[in-house]
Amino acid sequence: MLIHGLQKMTLLDFPGKVACTVFFDGCNFRCPFCHNSELLGVGFPPLMDDGELLAFLEKRKGVLDGVCITGGEPLLQKELPALLESIKNMGFLVKLDTNGSFPETLAELIDKGLVDYVAMDIKNSPRRYAETIGKERYDLSKVEKSIALLLTGKVDYEFRTTVVAQLHDEESFREIGKWIQGAKRYFLQCFAPRDSVLQPGLDAPSEADIHRYAEIARFYVPETGVRGV
Ligand code: SF4
């Protein structure tokens, strides 16, 4: 199993935990604002294999609480359940980032107790979803299944949206709020413009706008927070 990036320590990626972050390449979405566009399956050279990762983790026992699994879209990796089993057997907590388009794999990982925290992207309101993931059209049924699965509360989780000035407005957060009503927690993350994103020229929302959007979402999900401003 090939690993394309490793952040050896983070205090930010896994809420309340000291963790490392493991990056896998490949994604079925093409979000124009993607910060990890070098990991979208364009042949970026791998950093290590799963054996080397497990050897690294062996040395971090007692130092790290957990491991964040991100991408790309990590649920594209067929061997992920086996790797997570090894990581859990070493005593680490696992946080998974996902775009929500593989509900069956997500359910399998949750049922097997292989994830402790899931952060799922809600890219936009259903009306603007396809545009926000860089597609002409998109069947939302899989994303809806993942939302329903997390809302059952079988595993700790958050929903989150990267907010981009050109893609989101007040109506986005009214619609998203209704969609995920009753969720445990929701975060609006401010887009940070970078040269490496897929579509240049996108802007961050103003601070006032993102706080107004959070206020709208809070009506549906009281524990709504803002990150990155
Ligand atoms: S789902 Fe995530 S990794 Fe995939 S294109 Fe969108 S932002 Fe990038």
Per residue in 53-102, pLDDT tens?
Answer: 999 999 999 999 999 999 999 999 999 999 999 999 999 999 999 999 99
Nearest CA to ligand 1 atom 6: 31
pLDDT of 43 higher than 70: no
What pLDDT is stored for residue 203 in this prediction? 96
Nearest CA to ligand 1 atom 8: 34
Ligand 1 neighbour 73 (Cβ under 6 A): yes
Ligand 1 neighbour 211 (Cβ under 6 A): no
What pLDDT is stored for residue 36 in this prediction? 82
What pLDDT is stored for residue 202 in this prediction? 95
Ligand 1 neighbour 124 (Cβ under 6 A): no
pLDDT of 21 higher than 90: yes
Report the nearest atom of ligand 1 relative to the CA of 97.
2
Ligand 1 neighbour 122 (Cβ under 6 A): no
pLDDT of 129 higher than 90: yes
Residue 41, Cβ neighbours under 10 Å: how many?
A: 13
Per residue in 174-218, pLDDT tens?
Answer: 999 999 999 999 999 999 998 889 898 999 999 999 999 999 999
Give me ligand 1 centre to Cα 90, in Å.
29
What pLDDT is stored for residue 41 in this prediction? 67
* 3-state SS, residue 169: coil
Strand ranges inside the chain, DSSP E: 2-3, 5-10, 19-23, 48-49, 66-70, 93-98, 117-121, 156-163, 186-190, 224-227
Ligand 1 neighbour 115 (Cβ under 6 A): no
Which residue is it, tokens 């706008």?
209
> 62 with 89: CB under 8 angstroms?
no
Give me ligand 1 centre to Cα 123, in Å.
9
What pLDDT is stored for residue 42 in this prediction? 63
What pLDDT is stored for residue 196 in this prediction? 82
> 158 with 187: CB under 8 angstroms?
yes
Ligand 1 neighbour 87 (Cβ under 6 A): no
Dist. CA 140–CA 118, nearest whole Å:
19
Give me ligand 1 centre to Cα 224, in Å.
22
Residue to substitute in 21, 99, 120, 167 for testing ligand 1 pocket (most ligand atoms within 8 angstroms of CB) = 99
Give me ligand 1 centre to Cα 97, in Å.
10
- Estimate to the nearest angstrom the gap between the alpha carbon of 185 and the chain centroid: 14
Per residue in 130-177, pLDDT tens?
Answer: 999 999 999 999 999 999 999 999 999 999 999 999 999 999 999 999
Give me ligand 1 centre to Cα 33, in Å.
8
